[in-house]
Amino acid sequence: MPQQAAPAPRAPVPEPAEAVSSLPPRRWASRHTYGAIDLGTNNCRLLVARPTDDGFTVIDAFSRVVRLGEGMATSGKLSEGAMDRAVAALSVCAEKLRRRHVSLARSVATEACRRAVNGRHFVERVRRETGICLEIIAPEEEARLAMLGCHRLLEPGDGPALIFDIGGGSTELVLIDTDEGEPRIKCWWSAPWGVVSLTDSEGRNFATVEERLAAYGRMRERVRHAFRRFVDLLPTGRDGIRLMGTSGTVTTLASVYLALPSYDRRAVDGLKMPASAMRQISQTLSAMDHGERALFPCIGHERADLVVAGCAILETIMDLWPAETLGVADRGIREGILRSLMARDGHVI
């Protein structure tokens, strides 16, 4: 799979990201710094890290809501405004990669770029304007990276575990086996419903509780239909079921569960919470209007219109894999990229 070096120093016309690999060795070359960019349908995220004896240390990070997939449900393409927002966020990422002297990076784009008719055109614009070479990855690779980034937070146990990633434009499900230590993917599934695409399919403005609950039911039915073939792949007679989510939906709902006044990754990442509590929160939010949901500090106006679709996807996943406990991970694709890059260079992580 292609990797890239960090973008070259600024010039009147930005140079391609690979240009750094041809520069003379620097003093920091013996201590590599790695970068990972995940451009999703809703968010643009960056991590910069250095390997340590027991993993890696994050030295810089960035996250911005860009809503790249906004309006795609009707147009089939990325809008100019959405591309402008994404390029602006990626320009920040490129500057951070340069400032941190990142020697090796991988930058991936997911569902929005996979589906958009102008996805390749956008990738070329990003390369030209920021120096970042985006790689549009397949759903299978997206699922693998998400699993690789968070599986260490799974509860100890035997038998298969299900890890899921609710994105903006799609949801990935990965059934893994950890009986031999390192996880082995048994099967995976990608459904074309994420918080943006599912919200766009149903709409946002409902005047009454009855209308909101009816819309919620329709969203759950769409997701259930998309998962129907994956259900046939799941083992029967499931004991010791383990379930973990790695997405903005589960971290947001975990923050509501903990009644956090502001988001705190240390409190959320690795949390084990009752699945019944997550259901109750989901059903409560589905009945609220936009203003009521926005009053929760960790939801706010930015997430208030999308969180209900995430709840619908989450509840449907808990239906097909009925664990008593839900693990929450504030880590995923970016961490998976970093682990892959560092392992390739011989670091044991």
Q: Domains (ranges, CATH) in the chain?
A: 17-137 (3.30.420.40), 140-333 (3.30.420.150)
Q: Given this model, what pLDDT does residue 62 score?
A: 96
More confident residue, 292 or 241: 292
Q: What does the block give as tokens for 101?
A: 């002297």
DSSP letter for each residue of 277-342: HHHHHHHHHHHS-HHHHHTSTTTHHHHHTTHHHHHHHHHHHHHHS--SEEEE-S--HHHHHHHHHH
Residue 70's identity, in one-letter code, is E
- 150 touches 332 (CB < 8 A): yes
Reported confidence tier of residue 265, pLDDT bands at 50, 70, 90: very high
Q: Give mean pLDDT, residues 144-152.
A: 92
5 pLDDT more than 60: no
Reported confidence tier of residue 238, pLDDT bands at 50, 70, 90: low
pLDDT digits (tens, 9 = 90+) for 276-302: 999 999 999 999 999 999 999 999 998
Reported confidence tier of residue 54, pLDDT bands at 50, 70, 90: confident
305 pLDDT more than 60: yes
- 295: CB partners within 8 A, 6+ apart: none
Place of tokens 């819309």: 215
Q: What is the DSSP letter of 4?
A: B
- Cα radius of gyration (the chain): 20
- What is the C-alpha to C-alpha distance for residues 32 and 36, in angstroms, rounded to an integer? 13
DSSP letter for each residue of 22-57: GSPP-GGGGS--EEEEEE-SSEEEEEEEEEETTEEE
Percent of the chain topping pLDDT 90: 74
316 pLDDT more than 50: yes
8 pLDDT more than 60: no
Phi, psi of 53 (to 5 degrees): -65, -30
With H, G, I as helix, E, B as strand and everything else as coil, classify residue 136: strand
222 pLDDT more than 50: yes
